[in-house]
């Protein structure tokens, strides 16, 4: 596909989307009819189909020269559906947990090189806490982000941790070897913590949330001021947080252990 850093590139993206929309409407289509519908030369459509096919977004049918939508589209749609389902299913779980532990409870998912909070419930002790909904937070400096990082494939994790890690406080872990070591520990113990690594005086703990296929699709966290959410307090609420993680995972179709 043509480069996307100019008018021509944007036009190529638009045409590729047109191809996908037409194939979705028609069921299948050939180069000639797609070119006629879009109003471009057949060679342009052929290049677009080649790029889309390389990403499994289209595939050739048994009828020579015909194309249809590929399973890559299903994969993308499934990810959108999972995120929507998490938002729908999590609210009851987070509200109950917030009531039980009294702290701010969040559910976060990975978005590019960030963790984004999609659901938040506030406990009685956290009425004045920060609203994290929709905010992009760094993966390496948050408990949710560490959980998400720890369960990623190594190539993806290496890519996201490439370059210099940003320091937010004097407690932020920015040494790559140290971060990798911590992620290994998180996999072993089943939860992640942060102690003033994103904001001075803010502590948090998170556990994984799994989807139907067992993969980690989100992180469930509790956060609060350091004077209240101490290491000892984290140990006290951790069983409740784990139970909530299992409950949310089951609501998403996973019936194994969420740890």
pLDDT tens digit sequence for 84-103: 678 778 888 999 999 999 99
- Point out the least confidently predicted range of 23-32, 121-130, 138-147, 233-242: 121-130
74/44 Cα distance (integer angstroms): 25
231/27 Cα distance (integer angstroms): 57
Query: Percentage of the chain with pLDDT > 70?
Result: 88
* All residues at 6 or more sequence positions from 53 whose CB lies less than 8 Å from its CB, including other chains: 59, 60, 67, 70
71/64 Cα distance (integer angstroms): 19
Q: What is the pLDDT of residues 174-218, one digit of tens each?
A: 999 999 999 999 999 999 999 999 999 999 999 999 988 899 999
CATH 1.10.10.10 domain position(s) in the chain: 7-69
The architecture that CATH gives domain 7-69 is Orthogonal Bundle (1.10)
Is 56's pLDDT higher than 90?
Answer: no
The pLDDT, as a whole number, for residue 120 is 92
pTM exceeds 0.75, yes or no: no
The pLDDT, as a whole number, for residue 77 is 62
CATH 3.30.450.40 domain position(s) in the chain: 78-251
For residue 71, what are its two tokens? 């399973």
224/208 Cα distance (integer angstroms): 19
- Point out the least confidently predicted range of 14-23, 49-58, 70-79, 209-218: 70-79
Do 131 and 124 form a contact (C-beta atoms < 8 A)? no
**Local confidence band at 1 (pLDDT 50, 70, 90 cut-offs):** very low
**How far, rounded to the nearest angstrom, does the alpha carbon of residue 251 sit from its chain's CA centroid?**
18
The architecture that CATH gives domain 78-251 is 2-Layer Sandwich (3.30)
């Amino acid at each position: 596909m043509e480069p996307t850093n100019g008018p021509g590139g944007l036009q190529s993206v638009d045409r590729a989307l047109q191809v996908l929309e037409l194939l979705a409407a028609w069921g299948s289509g050939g180069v000639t009819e797609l070119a006629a519908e879009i109003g471009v030369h057949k060679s342009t459509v052929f290049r677009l189909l080649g790029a889309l096919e390389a990403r499994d977004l289209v595939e050739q049918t048994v009828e020579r020269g015909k194309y249809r939508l590929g399973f890559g589209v299903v994969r993308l749609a499934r990810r959108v559906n999972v995120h929507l389902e998490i938002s729908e299913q999590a609210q009851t779980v987070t509200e109950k947990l917030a009531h039980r532990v009294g702290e701010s409870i969040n559910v976060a998912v990975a978005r590019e090189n960030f963790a984004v909070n999609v659901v938040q419930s506030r406990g009685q002790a956290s009425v004045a806490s920060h609203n994290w909904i929709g905010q992009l937070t760094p993966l390496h400096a948050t408990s949710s982000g560490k959980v998400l990082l720890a369960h990623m494939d190594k190539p993806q994790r290496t890519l996201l941790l490439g370059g210099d890690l940003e320091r937010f406080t004097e407690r932020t872990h920015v040494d790559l070897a140290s971060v990798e070591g911590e992620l290994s520990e998180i996999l072993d113990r089943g939860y992640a913590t942060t102690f003033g690594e994103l904001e001075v005086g803010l502590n948090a703990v998170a556990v994984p949330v799994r989807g139907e296929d067992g993969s980690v699709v989100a992180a469930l966290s509790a956060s609060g001021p350091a004077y209240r959410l101490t290491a000892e307090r984290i140990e006290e609420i951790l069983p409740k947080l784990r139970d909530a993680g299992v409950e949310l995972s089951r609501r998403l179709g996973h019936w194994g252990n969420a740890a």
